[in-house]
């Protein structure tokens, strides 16, 4: 029975049907939906997903690692084609990153800070815009506010001593308002000081505060975008040496 079935399959599909299927499987990495960037090394769209550096999605839909092993084993004749495709894509990512880096550098190089409107805060969690004000003016206003708070506090104590509770309470309310305004001035001053310490990351083009809290620096250097561009630059350098060094 089994022999008759085998003979029938031989007539329908040929005696080499198994080897044809094997060859098809070995070169399945060449299917149109398989990510060729992932075969070469990695898919930039995946490693930069949900970052400012990547607003598009990969044109390939299948990124399974299974096809990478098939490519490494049987993909020699496709290697240059796929690597050149990867090379051109990485160049595009670096080109766009350099534009973003240049824009951020222009922000930092703005000479007239009083006319400079705003820049995006490096603290993403706050999602706030920092207005640049004259630092000397801020410090003077803070000094005046602190002096006023001291005067009001003395006045409150004197009013309590003569049992003028209602007047003292009104002074306390006024003191709270001065404290609130003073805190706002300190926030603006901190924002200006933060701007002075900002620099552009040479790897990914983002604005970073190099004198900021170490944990925030660690978050940047270990972040998806920074690590992604480290990988992009390394692979691009290898491909440039391989194909454009001569």
Task: Work out whether the CA dihedral 207, 213, 215, 217 comes out positive or negative.
Answer: positive
pLDDT of residue 18: 47
Q: Residues 58-87: pLDDT tens digits? A: 999 999 999 999 999 999 999 999 999 999
In angstroms and rounded to an integer, the radius of gyration of the C-alpha atoms of the chain is 32
pLDDT of residue 191: 62
pLDDT of residue 81: 95
- Collapse the DSSP code of 208 into the 3-class scheme (helix H, G, I; strand E, B; otherwise coil) and give the result: strand
Low-confidence spans in the chain with pLDDT less than 50: 9, 11-23, 111-133
pLDDT of residue 9: 45
Residue 81 has a CB neighbour count (10 Å cut-off) of 12
Q: Residues 220-246: pLDDT tens digits? A: 898 889 999 999 999 999 999 999 876
Joined tokens for residue 94: 């670096």
Joined tokens for residue 131: 């207005």
pLDDT of residue 16: 42
One-letter-per-residue 3-state SS of 63-89:
CCCHHHHHHHHHCHHHHHHHHHHHHHH
């Amino acid at each position: 029975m089994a022999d008759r079935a085998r003979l029938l399959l031989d007539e329908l599909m040929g005696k080499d049907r198994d080897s044809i299927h094997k060859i098809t499987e070995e070169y399945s990495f060449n299917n149109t939906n398989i990510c060729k960037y992932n075969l070469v090394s990695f898919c930039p769209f995946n490693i930069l997903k949900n970052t400012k550096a990547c607003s598009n999605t990969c044109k390939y839909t299948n990124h399974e690692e299974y096809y990478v092993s098939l490519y490494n084993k049987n993909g020699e004749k496709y290697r240059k084609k796929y690597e050149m495709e990867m090379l051109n894509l990485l160049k595009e990512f670096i080109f766009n990153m350099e534009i973003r880096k240049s824009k951020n550098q222009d922000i930092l190089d703005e000479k007239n800070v009083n006319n400079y409107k705003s820049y995006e805060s490096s603290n993403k969690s706050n999602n706030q815009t920092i207005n640049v004000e004259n630092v000397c003016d801020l410090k003077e206003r803070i000094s005046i506010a602190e002096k006023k708070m001291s005067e009001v506090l003395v006045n409150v104590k004197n009013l309590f001593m003569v049992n003028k509770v209602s007047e003292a309470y009104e002074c306390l309310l006024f003191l709270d308002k001065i404290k609130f305004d003073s805190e706002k001035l300190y926030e603006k001053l901190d924002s200006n000081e933060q701007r002075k310490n900002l620099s552009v990351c040479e790897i990914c083009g983002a604005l970073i505060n190099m004198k900021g809290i170490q944990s925030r620096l660690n978050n940047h250097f270990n972040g998806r975008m920074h690590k992604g561009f480290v990988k992009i630059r390394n692979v691009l350098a290898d491909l440039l040496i391989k194909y454009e060094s001569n």
